[in-house]
Amino acid sequence: MLEFNATLLAQIFHFVVLLIFLRVVAYKPIARLLKERQDYIANNVAAAEEERAQAEKLKQQYLADLQKAREEAQGILAQATRAAELQAQDIIAAAKEEANRVKESALADIQREREKAVRELREQVAALSVLVAGKIIGRTITPEIQSQLVYDFIKEAGDLPC
């Protein structure tokens, strides 16, 4: 098989035939398919990128919303605390006032009772004085004189601290 003959030309011809055949049958479809796949993957990647960006944006938005909600809650909480404090102060103030009022009225009652007691005491003292004076003097004086005497006496006595 070492001598050259027309087989050489035939083999070149065979090779060219095979080349043309494969070019039409195999290479073109494969190249097209690979191109399609490349495009498909590129599209997928692009879509994924876009979706990721959108997700990122959504996430940022949600985070911002969350932050805002948190701040609002904080605000509401602070407001409620302030209101409660105010209310507590009001209640305390009202209680104090009530207590003062009760104290005042109690003091007034005491004052009144005291005055009443003093008045009663004066009357009794007057009566006693009349009795005693009548006994001492031994005579009966007219009620007018007596009253005048008693009154003077009481006046003197009333200026004394009692």
Yes or no: say if 153 and 132 are a contact pair by the CB < 8 Å rule: no
Report how many residues bind another protein under the rule CB under 8 A: 30
Q: Which stretch binds another protein (CB under 8 A): 7-15, 55-63, 88-96, 153-161?
A: 7-15
Q: How far is the CB of 63 from another protein (least distance, A)?
A: 37
Stretch that binds another protein, among 13-21, 89-97, 119-127, 148-156 (CB under 8 A): 13-21
The reply to whether 14 sits near another protein by the rule CB under 8 A is yes
Q: Does 47 bind another protein (CB under 8 A)?
A: no
* Distance in Å from the first CA to the final CA of the chain: 162
Q: Are 128 and 144 in contact (CB under 8 A)?
A: no
Which residues, 6+ apart, have CB-to-CB distance to 130 below 8 Å?
146, 150
List of residues contacting another protein (CB under 8 A): 1-2, 4-12, 14-15, 17-19, 21-23, 25-27, 29-31, 33-34, 36-37, 40
